[in-house]
Amino acid sequence: MKRFLAAMLAGVLATGVAAEERVLTVASSNPFSFPQALQAGPGGDLQVNGAVSLPHGASVNAPVGAVLFVHGAGGPQRFHQDWRAVFRAAGFATAHANHFTPRGGGSAVGDHIDLTGAAMATDALNILSALAALPEIDADKIVIAGTSKGGGVALYTAWAPLVRAISGETQFAAHLAIYPTCMHWDVANHTGAPIRVIVGTQDDWTGHDQCVAAMAHLAGQGVPATTLSLQGAAHGFDSRRPLHKVTQAFDVRACRFSMDVEGVEYANAQPMNAPKAKRAALGTCVKRGAHYGGDTGATKIARDHVRALLATIAAR
């Protein structure tokens, strides 16, 4: 692991366009499924390019926590910058990457085959290793946050077997999942870091009740997982767009997603460990069309909640 990190970090950082922003280049891989991710381990032959931004005052002598922000199925959006600004204002560095770029394409909305959660989670844990090695970053205070599909990645990266396989003993300090697709683990085997899900009660894309049930199932197995419900808010409540219907979106509220002890994902008990199988499984429960749009009141509540969570991490 040490030799891998040394090679990976040899050319990791280059000065970006702003004094406090740096380019981050990380070696990763492209597994379709979590069993493949477990086999692949750290690094790989895929180059993922992202960026790290340090808050004012961060230095080798005054290292800070960091938040890795993961985009959703629609790729990076302008309003994601708003979240990163919130994190930096709280005294945390931020990191992000475009997970489509090394794999081709620019959106997985309505088709989650070419860019899977397993691939994005693998990227995230490889980025975690790179961030933890930076002298300006406190490796014990790195948080992962994401919206929609990226929120799912925030949940996946709390699964201990995946963490051990890719980032070893380095783990995220907290997992912040904003309107994610939520997963039931048949047997919880998690790192113990707190998990926070934030979702609107009117989310007809990934679903509100599904996340409440999934987090309650984890909490019942001793995982510190909770849900913040935002009354009346839809998917994308933190965006800058008015509420509208996205016709190609997957409404997955009729799907019960789960993962077994080997990392195989299921939709309503149908395995999704290969492209054909995943399409068939989703075909049993997915409908087309869901709503998306901003809600300033819900966004304020969510940001206040996130600031409070980050304050607890910073105070450790």
DSSP 35-51: HHHHHH-S--SEEEEEE
Angle between helices 117-132 and 149-156 (to 10 degrees): 60
Q: Which residue's structure tokens are 């945390």?
A: 92
CA distance 315 to 310: 9
User: How far is residue 261 from each of residues 34, 184, 309, measured CA to CA in Å?
Assistant: 11, 11, 29
Select from 139, 134, 137, 124 the least CA-distant residue to 170.
139
Name the token pair of 158. 């709390």
CA distance 297 to 150: 22
Q: C-alpha angle with apex 128: 124 to 273, nearest 5 degrees?
A: 30
Count H helices and E strands in the chain, helices first.
Answer: 9, 15
Quick check: 185 and 162 in contact, CB under 8 A?
A: no
CA distance 184 to 215: 8
Quick check: 151 and 181 in contact, CB under 8 A?
A: yes
CA distance 240 to 231: 18
Q: How far is CA 226 from the centre of its chain?
A: 16
pLDDT of res. 17? 34
| Residue at 72: amino acid letter | G
pLDDT of res. 105? 73
**Side-chain-facing half-sphere of 214: CA atoms under 13 Å:** 29
pLDDT of res. 185? 95
CA distance 293 to 171: 33
User: How far is residue 107 from each of residues 47, 212, 232, 248, measured CA to CA in Å?
Assistant: 19, 27, 27, 11
One digit per residue, the tens of pLDDT, for the chain of length 316 reads 433 343 344 334 433 333 367 999 999 999 999 999 999 999 999 999 999 999 998 999 999 999 999 999 888 899 999 999 999 999 999 999 999 899 887 665 656 578 999 999 999 999 999 999 999 999 999 999 999 999 999 999 999 999 999 999 999 999 999 999 999 999 999 999 999 999 999 999 999 999 999 999 999 999 999 999 999 999 999 999 999 999 999 999 999 999 999 999 999 999 999 999 999 999 999 999 999 999 999 999 999 999 999 999 999 9
DSSP 312: H
Taking only Cα atoms into account, the Rg of the chain, rounded to an integer number of angstroms, comes to: 18
pLDDT of res. 4? 39
Name the token pair of 37. 């991710």
User: How far is residue 104 from each of residues 25, 26, 98, measured CA to CA in Å?
Assistant: 17, 17, 10
CA distance 50 to 48: 7
**Side-chain-facing half-sphere of 179: CA atoms under 13 Å:** 32
Name the token pair of 263. 């990392």
Report the SS3 class of residue 187: coil
Quick check: 195 and 228 in contact, CB under 8 A?
A: no
Q: Which residue's structure tokens are 């966004």?
A: 299
